[in-house]
């Protein structure tokens, strides 16, 4: 039996057109949050995972649902709670008394796009059940590895750590996310539009009721990902990425800087961003635009910086400004 031929790569204008179509579908339901949607698109093309953090009621979950609805992917959702167990996520092998054999019962993680809702409301032991899936796109149950789809993507939401009843995500878990995005309260104009759009509806809004239709499928997304592989990144830009990441380890305000994995992910994300802009090369501006989202959750402030009330985002901005960019 012959292997199926890989999908031909899209042209870069087709990649940009697909991204614009996805933005249009999400925009049918989501007011504002354009930058967040753009980062989700970059993560999709870079085959990375995204953590959305923000206060309750800022449409984090609804945004993930609308994004999934526009992609036509197999969608799964897990509501993380304090009593959630790893088996509730991964599944288990159950003994079938009729056949006298164990049968695999797949958990909700076996999907193409997984919404891990309020991921920090479950203990680290349960959070850790996602590590292998996010890194290697497979799940191991009773010593047997079960592959996940190649486009498998996790979009997780969490409330700020100051909220009651939450657990901090371990560093190993945080490092699996390409981006950590902060979902803020909307502006006055945006909030007025939200109330005008949804205030007359009964019950919570649903993506299907708002006319969101799939404008992509796994084949088209694979073709778009193939196009990203052809994006060139000059040696000077690679050097810039490495110097920027290494600068996080040399700052007196940062107790723990970013790892080489962060540098690799930042370069990959920059290539995806270039593809979405229909460019076949990476600019330093691509790196600058994504640096904060890639680095903010990987840096640990020094005690002195915490006492002074410094913010990770401000430190990253400062490092971007002080690290000399090519061209």
Helices marked H in the chain = 12-27, 34-46, 60-71, 86-90, 124-127, 131-136, 171-174, 188-198, 218-228, 235-250, 260-276, 284-295, 303-307, 312-322
Model confidence band, residue 33 (pLDDT cutoffs 50, 70, 90) = confident
Query: Is 58 in the same domain as 199?
Result: yes
pLDDT of residue 6: 54
Q: For all residues of the chain together, what is the average pLDDT?
A: 88
pLDDT (0 to 100) of residue 90: 87
Whether the predicted pLDDT of 3 surpasses 80: no
Residue 287 counted as domain residue:
yes
pLDDT of residue 43 exceeding 90, the answer is: yes
What average pLDDT score do residues 309-322 get? Answer: 93
Dihedral (CA of 182, 184, 189, 190) sign = positive
How many CA atoms are closer than 13 Å to the CA of 205, on its beta-carbon side? Answer: 22
Residues 35 and 126 in one domain: yes
pLDDT for 13 equals 92
In tens, the pLDDT along 227-252 reads 998 899 999 999 999 999 999 999 99
Taking residues 185-207, report their average pLDDT: 82
Q: How far apart are the first and last CA of the chain?
A: 51
Residue 35: both structure tokens together: 């930058």
95: in domain: no
CA 253 to CA 247: how far, in whole Å? Answer: 11
Distance separating alpha carbons of residues 42 and 19, to the nearest angstrom: 9
The pLDDT assigned to 199 comes to 76
Residue 16 included in any domain: yes
Residue 258's domain spans which residues?
232-322
Are residues 194 and 50 located together in one domain of the fold?
yes
Residue 93 forms part of a structural domain: no
Task: Please give the tally of structural domains in the chain.
Answer: 2
Please say if the pLDDT value at position 100 is more than 80: no
In a domain, 105, yes or no: no
Q: What is the pLDDT of residue 2?
A: 45
- The closest of 300, 170, 182 to 248, measured between CA atoms, is 300
């Amino acid at each position: 039996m012959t292997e199926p031929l890989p999908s031909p790569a899209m042209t870069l204008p087709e990649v940009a057109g697909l991204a614009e179509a996805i933005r249009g579908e999400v925009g049918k339901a989501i007011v504002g949050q354009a930058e967040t949607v753009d980062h989700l698109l970059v993560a999709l093309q870079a085959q990375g995972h995204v953590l959305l953090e923000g206060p309750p009621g800022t449409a984090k979950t609804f945004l993930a649902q609308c994004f999934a609805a526009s992609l036509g992917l197999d969608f799964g959702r897990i509501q993380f709670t304090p009593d959630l167990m790893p088996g509730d996520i991964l599944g288990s092998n159950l003994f079938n008394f009729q056949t006298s054999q164990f049968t695999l019962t797949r958990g909700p993680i076996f999907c193409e796009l997984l919404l891990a809702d309020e991921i920090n409301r479950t203990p680290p032991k349960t959070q850790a059940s996602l590590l292998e899936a996010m890194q290697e796109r497979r799940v191991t149950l009773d010593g047997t590895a079960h592959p996940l789809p190649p486009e498998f993507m996790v979009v997780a939401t969490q409330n700020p750590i100051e909220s009651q009843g939450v657990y901090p995500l371990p560093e190993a878990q945080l490092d699996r996310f390409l981006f950590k995005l902060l979902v803020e309260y909307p502006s006055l104009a945006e909030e007025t539009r939200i109330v005008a759009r949804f205030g007359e509806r009964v019950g919570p809004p649903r993506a299907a009721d708002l006319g969101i239709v799939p404008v992509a499928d796994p084949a088209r997304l694979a073709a778009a990902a193939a196009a990203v592989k052809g994006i060139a990144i000059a040696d000077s830009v690679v050097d810039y990425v490495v110097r920027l990441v290494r600068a996080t380890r040399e700052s007196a305000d940062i107790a723990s800087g970013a790892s080489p994995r962060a540098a690799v992910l930042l370069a990959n994300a920059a290539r995806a961003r270039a593809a979405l802009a229909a460019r076949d090369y990476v600019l330093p501006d691509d790196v600058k635009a994504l640096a904060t989202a890639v680095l903010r959750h990987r840096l640990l402030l020094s005690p002195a910086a915490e006492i002074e009330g410094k913010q990770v985002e401000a430190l990253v901005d400062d490092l971007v400004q002080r690290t000399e960019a090519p061209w």
